[in-house]
Amino acid sequence: MGNVKKFVEEITSMDVDFAQWYTDVVKKADLVDYSSVRGSMIIRPHGYAIWENVRDVLDAKIKETGHENVYLPLFIPESLLQKEKDHIEGFAPEVAWVTHGGSEELTERLCVRPTSEVLFCEHYANIIHSYRDLPKLYNQWSNVVRWEKTTRPFLRTLEFLWQEGHTCHATDEDAHEETKKMLEVYASVCEEYLAIPVLKGQKTEKEKFAGAKFTYTIESLMHDGKALQTGTSHHLGTGFAEAFGIQYTDRNGELQNVHQTSWGITTRLIGALIMVHGDNRGLVVPPRIAPTQVMIVPIAQHKPGVLDKAYELRDQLKKVARVGIDASDKMPGWKFNEYEMKGIPLRLEIGPKDIENGQAVLARRDTGEKVQVRLDELEARIVELLEEIQQNLLKKARELQASKTRTAVTMEQFKKELEQNPGFIKAMWCGDLACENFIKDETGATSRCIPFEQERVADTCVCCGGEAKELVYWAKAY
Amino acid sequence: MGNVKKFVEEITSMDVDFAQWYTDVVKKADLVDYSSVRGSMIIRPHGYAIWENVRDVLDAKIKETGHENVYLPLFIPESLLQKEKDHIEGFAPEVAWVTHGGSEELTERLCVRPTSEVLFCEHYANIIHSYRDLPKLYNQWSNVVRWEKTTRPFLRTLEFLWQEGHTCHATDEDAHEETKKMLEVYASVCEEYLAIPVLKGQKTEKEKFAGAKFTYTIESLMHDGKALQTGTSHHLGTGFAEAFGIQYTDRNGELQNVHQTSWGITTRLIGALIMVHGDNRGLVVPPRIAPTQVMIVPIAQHKPGVLDKAYELRDQLKKVARVGIDASDKMPGWKFNEYEMKGIPLRLEIGPKDIENGQAVLARRDTGEKVQVRLDELEARIVELLEEIQQNLLKKARELQASKTRTAVTMEQFKKELEQNPGFIKAMWCGDLACENFIKDETGATSRCIPFEQERVADTCVCCGGEAKELVYWAKAY
């Protein structure tokens, strides 16, 4: 194996340059390619297959919780976008405008949806009349566009894929319940499938969604100590209902505004996956969402019986896992590196000696461990190992997050902690926007959320020394 | 049941006004709603669930045949679109142009993809180098936009959903093989799942895809005798490869152009479904793609035990079919009409008398037949009936198509047949564009395809009387 190195396309070490490491991984693991469309990405088969798995898992949960999928138009007339004041103020600077159809200039510009609240609202005003029509629980899988200046694959792109849930309820409490429920759904997809631990909480007024009453968020910590917002769920209150006239007749025959929510997760989750689990050998994909869970690499495959056995194992193991095989004429060393780069959870090696001994070798991507397994125990062992890897990834990610979460009671401490070991800073806040802005200007860290699980780590605001209102998690963020 | 009528929202009879019948069905069966976005539609839960089923069936077949899903950008820079001359000429008149991002005017306009050949070509030029990289078999599920003047839900909309396959091959033969294979996949989805019979053939030069070497098509006949193109598969030859420099080194070390294909089906299929199977009571959905296959309607549900039994049946029948239940306080008569309008294949009625007799009533949507079935035979009978309905719908659609397919050997005959019984006209053609144009101008019928199964119904061209080259199917079309 001495000459494996020359087959390996080296990637930058994450300790040397994390941003370059990220760029190397997305490219070398064949997740994306670039095109001549500025700020957009091509999601390649390996990247898209991961997204399909995330989508299928989440879609099933969205349906289980009573939601229905719909599809609304890509374009939004300018006048419609302007109906809700806070909303248009938030989004106008970052939308793409269609001004011509064929060779004709349009009488009204159309924006390419940055999100679809206003379209859903117009539709809801059409179809909701009575309390019998509530709740309306809709979801949409779609592409959206936001005119970003600086872009990075998965993390911030001009166009991205997402789902956006939009619901209408009879009461504020029902809408609140929904907002919480969908945040829990997101948290469970992140933790149980992507093995990404999340911090649940509420956004500050400054950081909430444009037009919302309040925003719930889940936040995760990346390997470099920066935070990433992995999902948000907004209680929209009645602001949109008032602007769009979405009213229903209640049981007493009186007209009422509906109470709304919206919630979304995006292809950013793949960025989180890379930065939470990846290492200097490339991507690491948790088994539950890995498109290929076991990659079979035949050893000395020109020798009689090896390829036959490898294919036989592939067919046999299909029952218990998503199995691939690479029977190309490339060197095993090249293949090892290729599938480590792509983050396949388990590699199965089978060669003439293994066949003689009635065994195969299983190599774990997460720990690098190799074990010899008897062929008649292979199915059971693979099922066990995949589960072990899944749990180990979550455990390691939890430890990472814990090790990068510090408490600060003064601004000196805040800055020192953030510099020495970037991550979450837990610090008390007086609730004043001025302090939130000051902290951002001074340190680069933003308020990530007011966590649901509150602690009182001090009695005074970390910034102004005034009376502490609540605990906030702060971090530099993607 | 004498007062059922007042609950029914009447739809126009298809014999009185087919276009209005269509519009009534898409609206009353809750397939679509309109919005303030001209020419676009909102696909409502019932419509989208049908699309999801079509998508899942086709996606599985696309993957089984070795294709991988990817996702490419929504926007195409104007200069990129212009690289292949025939292609831009075909599409330029019908694209939407983005000219501004936020408040900035762009230095180069971006078109919203009408189809993604040029983006795939740019990507392929990046990633294909050697014969080892071939074939590349990619597919994309996406939305596309074409700036249509006159629009109708599902049939012709500014924006529609589709899949577009794009493949590269080492030889012309391989590309040809792929073009045929994917047409067969489309034909099998239409016939086996949507119960829509198709006619397979090749488009004339005039009707082929802009930039293709040739186009294969499947064509279906609607209830009103108009044809609808249900899917196309294009052999692109090497035209795009030359324009975009997609070359590979062959086994002899020589540079070669790749040979390409592209193929697509769209949400139009739902339009076809409506117009092939629908009747004056509304939509009829074939069981294999029906989101709900059996709708349970409790009778006298206020009586003790009825609802319990209905839910018990729902849970029991879930094993064998996609089952819904309507336990709302609406009248059974209202429910009967609602689910007939929505085209649910089977209705299950269960009331106090049925329970007493240990039976339930099954009503078929396709024939209107009602049968009493013993509860212990229900599962088996439902499975049988769903299959019978599926086969019956295909059979009826085949009969419709046969009854509306006529032969003409003179233009007088052509016009008379088309007028008296609109449908496919089989007629010989000399191969001359002038005749094709004349027929269109004179009759409104276009060449639908040169069928793979050729017959020689005359020796002379139906139009000019010159030597007949081949049989063509002609029809007025959507």
Nearest CB to A35: which of B35, B37, B73? B73
Best of B97, B106, B121 to substitute, by most chain A Cβ atoms within 10 angstroms, is B97
pLDDT, average across residues B203-216: 95
pLDDT band (50, 70, 90) for residue B228: very high
CA distance A351 to A403: 42
Best of B54, B81, B98, B328 to substitute, by most chain A Cβ atoms within 10 angstroms, is B98
pLDDT of residue B88: 81
Q: What is the DSSP string of A155-207?
A: TB-SEEEEEEEEEEESSHHHHHHHHHHHHHHHHHIIIIIS----EEEE--TTT
Q: Is residue A460 exposed (0-12), middle (13-18) or buried (19+ Cβ within 10 Å)?
A: middle
pLDDT band (50, 70, 90) for residue B85: confident
Kindly list the residues from chain A whose CB atom is less than 8 angstroms away from the CB atom of residue B161. Answer: 71
With 70 as the cut, is the pLDDT of residue B6 above it?
no
Q: From the CA of A478, how many Å to the nearest CA of chain B?
A: 21
Kindly list the residues from chain A whose CB atom is less than 8 angstroms away from the CB atom of residue B109. Answer: 100
Which domains, and CATH codes, for chain A? 18-277 (3.30.930.10), 292-387 (3.40.50.800), 405-475 (3.30.110.30)
Q: Looking at chain B, which residue has its C-alpha nearest residue A161?
A: B71
pLDDT band (50, 70, 90) for residue A294: very high
- The DSSP call for residue B113 is P
Q: Do A71 and B127 touch (CB under 8 A)?
A: no
CA distance A118 to B443: 45
CA distance A233 to A62: 13
Nearest CB to B159: which of A74, A77, A161? A74
Nearest CB to B70: which of A45, A80, A126? A45
pLDDT, average across residues B176-180: 98
Kindly list the residues from chain B whose CB atom is less than 8 angstroms away from the CB atom of residue A138. Answer: 45
Nearest CB to A73: which of B40, B127, B328? B40
Q: From the CA of B42, how many Å to the nearest CA of chain A?
A: 5
Tokens of B97: 């142009």
pLDDT, average across residues B63-82: 96
With 70 as the cut, is the pLDDT of residue A109 above it?
yes
Three-state DSSP at A85 gives: helix
pLDDT, tens digit (0-9, with 9 covering 90-100), for B381-408: 999 999 999 999 999 999 999 999 999 9
Kindly list the residues from chain B whose CB atom is less than 8 angstroms away from the CB atom of residue A72. Answer: 35, 42-43
Q: Do A73 and B103 touch (CB under 8 A)?
A: no
Q: Looking at chain B, which residue has its C-alpha nearest residue A94?
A: B102
Asked if residue A324 lies in contact with residue A347, where contact means CB atoms within 8 angstroms, the answer is no
Nearest CB to B42: which of A123, A142, A159? A123
pLDDT of residue A328: 94
Q: Do A80 and B145 touch (CB under 8 A)?
A: no
pLDDT band (50, 70, 90) for residue B8: low
Kindly list the residues from chain B whose CB atom is less than 8 angstroms away from the CB atom of residue A42. Answer: 70-73, 119, 123
With 50 as the cut, is the pLDDT of residue A188 above it?
yes
Q: Residue B356 corresponds to which amino acid?
A: E
Q: From the CA of A110, how many Å to the nearest CA of chain B?
A: 9
- The DSSP call for residue A414 is H
- Select from A285, A394, A266 the least CA-distant residue to A346: A285
φ and ψ at residue A371, rounded to 5 degrees: -130, 145
pLDDT of residue B89: 83
Indicate if the alpha-carbon torsion angle A58, A62, A63, A69 is positive or negative: negative
Best of B27, B31, B36, B80 to substitute, by most chain A Cβ atoms within 10 angstroms, is B36
Tokens of B412: 């007088």
Nearest CB to A97: which of B43, B48, B98? B98
CA distance A267 to A58: 13
pLDDT, tens digit (0-9, with 9 covering 90-100), for A191-222: 999 999 999 999 999 999 988 999 999 999 99
Within 10 A of A253 (CB to CB), how many other CB atoms are there? 7
With 80 as the cut, is the pLDDT of residue B474 above it?
yes
Does ipTM surpass 0.90 in this model?
yes
Q: What is the mean pLDDT of chain B?
A: 96
Kindly list the residues from chain B whose CB atom is less than 8 angstroms away from the CB atom of residue A119. Answer: 35, 37, 42
Q: Looking at chain A, which residue has its C-alpha nearest residue B30?
A: A127
pLDDT band (50, 70, 90) for residue B373: very high
Kindly list the residues from chain A whose CB atom is less than 8 angstroms away from the CB atom of residue B144. Answer: none
Q: Do A73 and B35 touch (CB under 8 A)?
A: yes
Q: Do A127 and B101 touch (CB under 8 A)?
A: no
With 80 as the cut, is the pLDDT of residue B4 above it?
no
- Among A299-308, B6-15, B243-252, B373-382, the minimum mean pLDDT is found in B6-15
pLDDT band (50, 70, 90) for residue B134: very high
Nearest CB to A95: which of B102, B127, B161? B102
pLDDT, average across residues B139-149: 96
Within 10 A of B226 (CB to CB), how many other CB atoms are there? 18
CA distance A111 to B98: 9
Q: From the CA of B418, how many Å to the nearest CA of chain A?
A: 34
CA distances from A161 to A152, A415, B63, B120, B418 (A): 14, 36, 21, 18, 47
Q: Do B71 and A48 touch (CB under 8 A)?
A: yes
pLDDT, average across residues B161-178: 98
Q: Do A127 and B33 touch (CB under 8 A)?
A: yes
Q: Looking at chain B, which residue has its C-alpha nearest residue A48?
A: B70
Nearest CB to B126: which of A33, A49, A145? A33
φ and ψ at residue B45, rounded to 5 degrees: -50, -45
pLDDT of residue A8: 52
Q: From the CA of B69, how many Å to the nearest CA of chain A?
A: 6
Q: Do B100 and A103 touch (CB under 8 A)?
A: no
Q: Do B72 and A42 touch (CB under 8 A)?
A: yes
pLDDT, tens digit (0-9, with 9 covering 90-100), for B88-103: 888 888 999 999 999 8
pLDDT, average across residues A365-391: 98
Best of B71, B120, B149, B154 to substitute, by most chain A Cβ atoms within 10 angstroms, is B71
CA distance A140 to B44: 10
CA distances from A386 to A273, A285, A347, A381, B280 (A): 17, 11, 11, 9, 55
Residue in the structure block whose two tokens are 């009967």: B336
Kindly list the residues from chain A whose CB atom is less than 8 angstroms away from the CB atom of residue B41. Answer: 73
pLDDT, tens digit (0-9, with 9 covering 90-100), for A16-61: 999 999 999 999 999 999 999 999 999 999 999 999 999 999 999 9
Q: Do B49 and A35 touch (CB under 8 A)?
A: no
- The DSSP call for residue B279 is B
pLDDT band (50, 70, 90) for residue A6: very low
